[in-house]
Amino acid sequence: MQLIDGKATAAAIKAEIAEEVKRIMEAGGKQPHLAAVLVGHDGGSETYVKNKVIACEQCGFKSTLIRYEEDVTEDELLACVDRLNKDKDIDGFIVQLPLPKQIDEQKIIMAIDYRKDVDGFHPINVGRMAIGLPCFISATPLGILTLLQH
C-alpha cells in the first residue's frame, strides 16, 4: 500500500498554479479573481472559506470575501449572486453552504451563472461533467481524483 501525502501534493499543485498565473500576468493577462459568500458564523464554513482565501494568495489569485449575517434575506442573497454574475472582474465564486433555513439553497445554486460556479453544483455543470465536457467539478471528488493521478 502506498501512502499519499495530500499536503505535499496540494503544495506542489499550488506552486504550479502560481507559476502559471505569473506567466499569464507577465504576458498582460488578468489576475484570476475568486469571490466567496459566507452567511452566518458556522465554524466549519468559516474554516473552509478561510482556507480558500489562503489558497488564493498562494496561487496568485485575487480573492474577495462577502459576509452576511444569519438573518440575510433570500432576496438580498440573490441580489449578491446577480452582482457577482455580472462582475467582469470576478472569474468564479462560491456561496458557502449550508445556508440558513429561510434561504432556499437550490434557488441560490440555480441563480449562479454556471460559468462562475466554482463549486460545480449548478445542474449545467453536473450535466457537462457527466458527458465529459469542460466544467467546474465539485471540490471533494476532483480533489480525490487529482490526488490519485498526481
- The Cα–Cα gap between 138 and 135 comes to 10
Residue 145 neighbours by CB distance under 10 Å: 11
Which residues carry out catalysis? 52, 96, 119
- The Cα–Cα gap between 95 and 118 comes to 9
Question: C-alpha angle 54/58/62, rounded to 5°?
Answer: 75
- The Cα–Cα gap between 118 and 33 comes to 11
